[in-house]
Amino acid sequence: MIKTLRIMSVLAVALAAVLVVFSVVVFGARGDKDIEELLGEPDVIEKFNNSAGNKATRGTSQISPLVQQAGAFALYLNPPKPKVPRPVKGRISSTPRGPSATPKFKVMGTSYYKGHPESSMALIDEPGKGLHWVRQSSMVGHLLIEEVKDGIVVVKDNNGTFELKVEEKPHISLLEGAPAVPSKKAGISRSPVPRAGSKSSAVASVKPSTVYSGKTGSRVVKPPRPPLPRKINEQGSAMTELTEKLTQLQKRLKSDKTVTAKEKAEMYNQLISEVQASNSSRLSAEESERLSILGKELKKVMEQPISSGQK
């Protein structure tokens, strides 16, 4: 019994599903046809365009003739204000300016009178005429001297106005050999310092040296100094050579501790003899004798520790 009820319930559900599907297919197809028919009908705009009575032809007015006559009469009674024509702004044609003319004269100076500017003058250097004065409003060639200022001349030509400045001249000192700026310290000479052994030093030492005083700024000429004797310079160079060689020998002997005092004395004496022989032509007899005495004294000093040690 229970099985029979279960089978009947399953069959009822299946039958209901079949009926639902059939109804959807049948009624849905009918509904689509109705919708297609509704969409196929003309809309409101098409109906209005297709109506022959309300369709207006091209070129015909939709306004009533009575309304048109009323509007024309209203314009006759109250005419509109006339329109004011706008002024046409034309473009101002600018004439091209040519390049300003180059003046053929130079401004060398100006005489400016502030109280009466018309009396001011300018000193110019014009080719063919040389230096001469010109006033304002005077012509120089095809150029007009329009205005003279302090150090500036305003010149006018066909293309406009331009300014000319006074030519600057380099300052030339009237004192021959004087420096551009005098020294602030008193007694400082501007003459070159001569070098020993040069030819130009002898010539430079003969010339008088110019000295400027710091208080008064006056020019003082000192007498020339005599050049140093050549013999004194040569003797000084010989002594300098001896000093350098003795210093080198002393450094070498300090590093070598195996040399005895006697050997050191002999080396010093030999070095003095070599310097004396090489500079014999430049040294006097007195200098040669002094070198010999120096060598003997060095030898005695170096031999003293040896003799005291032997005793």
pLDDT in tens, 42-93: 888 888 877 755 555 555 667 888 998 999 999 999 988 888 888 777 666 5
User: Does residue 161 form part of some domain?
Assistant: yes
User: Does residue 254 form part of some domain?
Assistant: yes
Containing domain of residue 306, as a range?
Answer: 230-310
User: Does residue 276 form part of some domain?
Assistant: yes
Band (270; pLDDT cuts 50, 70, 90): confident
- The average confidence (pLDDT) of the chain is 69
Is the pLDDT at 149 greater than 80? The verdict is yes
Domain endpoint, select from 130, 149, 165: 165
User: Does residue 243 form part of some domain?
Assistant: yes
Is the pLDDT at 208 greater than 80? The verdict is no
Q: What predicted TM-score, i.e. pTM, was given to this entire model? A: 0.27
User: Does residue 224 form part of some domain?
Assistant: no
Is the pLDDT at 207 greater than 60? The verdict is no
Domain endpoint, select from 117, 150, 165: 165
Residue 291 makes CB contacts below 8 A (sequence gap 6+) with 242, 272, 275, 276, 283
Mean pLDDT of 212-229: 49
Closest by alpha carbon to 260, among 311, 303, 294, 298?
303
Band (281; pLDDT cuts 50, 70, 90): low
User: Does residue 145 form part of some domain?
Assistant: yes
User: Does residue 192 form part of some domain?
Assistant: no
Measured CA to CA in angstroms, residue 144 lies from 79, 103, 130, 138, 200 at distances of 64, 11, 18, 6, 59
Domain endpoint, select from 165, 195, 213: 165
Number of domains in the chain: 2
User: Does residue 98 form part of some domain?
Assistant: no
